C-alpha cells in the first residue's frame, strides 16, 4: 500500500472516532483535498478491499482497512509522543510523525516502543 492510501485509511479511522458516519466530503474537508481526488482514492481503496461504501455514501473500513489504519494511527500517536518528550513542539512533532509513520519499519517502530516504554503517556 502506498503512503497516500494509508493516509486516507488513517483519516477515515480518526473521523469515525469523532462522528457516527464518515462521508467522502468529510475526508476531503479534513485532509484539505479536492472532492474528485478523494473520490478516486475511495474507489481505489474500495476496489482493493480496504473499505466499504453504503448506498448513502457512508464509508466504513473493512477489517483489512482497519488493520492498516490502526497500525498507522498507533505509529502517529507514539512517534508524536516520543518527539514531544525529546523537546519538539506539539505541532512540529505531529507533522514529523506523519511523515515518519509511513516509512519506519515495523522492527524499528517496535524497538522504539520498547525503548521508551513507561517513559511517555
Domain at 35, CATH number: 1.10.10.10
Question: What's the distance, Cα to Cα, between the start and end of the chain in Å?
Answer: 30
pLDDT tens digits in sequence order for the chain, 121 residues long: 688 899 999 999 999 999 999 999 999 999 999 999 999 999 999 999 999 999 999 999 999 999 999 999 999 999 999 999 999 999 999 999 999 998 999 999 998 888 888 665 5
| Domain match, 61 and 7 both | yes
Q: The domain containing residue 91 runs over which residues? A: 72-116
| Domain match, 57 and 112 both | no
Give CA–CA dist 29/24, Å, rounded.
9
| Domain match, 93 and 57 both | no
Residue 106 has a pLDDT of 92
Task: Check: CB of residue 75 under 8 Å from CB of residue 101.
Answer: yes
Residue 96 has a pLDDT of 96
DSSP E strands, 22-78: 51-53, 59-61
Q: Give 54-58 contacts, CB < 8 A, sequence gap 24+.
A: 56/21, 57/23, 57/24, 58/21, 58/22, 58/23
| Domain match, 61 and 79 both | no
Q: Does 101 reside within a domain?
A: yes
C-alpha cell at 53: 461504501
| Domain match, 59 and 84 both | no
Residue 115 has a pLDDT of 83
Amino acid at each position: 500500500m502506498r503512503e497516500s492510501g494509508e493516509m486516507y485509511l488513517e483519516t477515515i479511522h480518526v473521523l469515525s472516532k469523532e462522528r457516527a458516519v464518515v462521508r467522502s466530503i468529510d475526508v476531503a474537508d479534513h485532509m484539505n483535498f479536492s472532492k474528485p481526488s478523494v473520490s478516486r482514492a475511495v474507489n481505489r481503496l474500495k476496489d482493493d478491499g480496504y473499505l466499504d461504501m453504503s448506498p448513502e455514501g457512508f464509508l466504513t473500513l473493512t477489517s483489512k482497512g482497519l488493520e492498516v489504519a490502526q497500525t498507522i494511527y498507533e505509529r502517529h500517536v507514539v512517534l508524536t509522543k516520543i518527539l514531544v518528550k525529546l523537546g519538539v513542539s506539539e505541532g512540529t512533532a505531529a507533522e514529523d510523525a506523519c511523515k515518519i509513520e509511513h516509512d519506519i519499519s515495523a522492527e524499528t517502530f517496535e524497538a522504539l516502543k520498547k525503548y521508551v516504554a513507561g517513559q511517555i503517556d
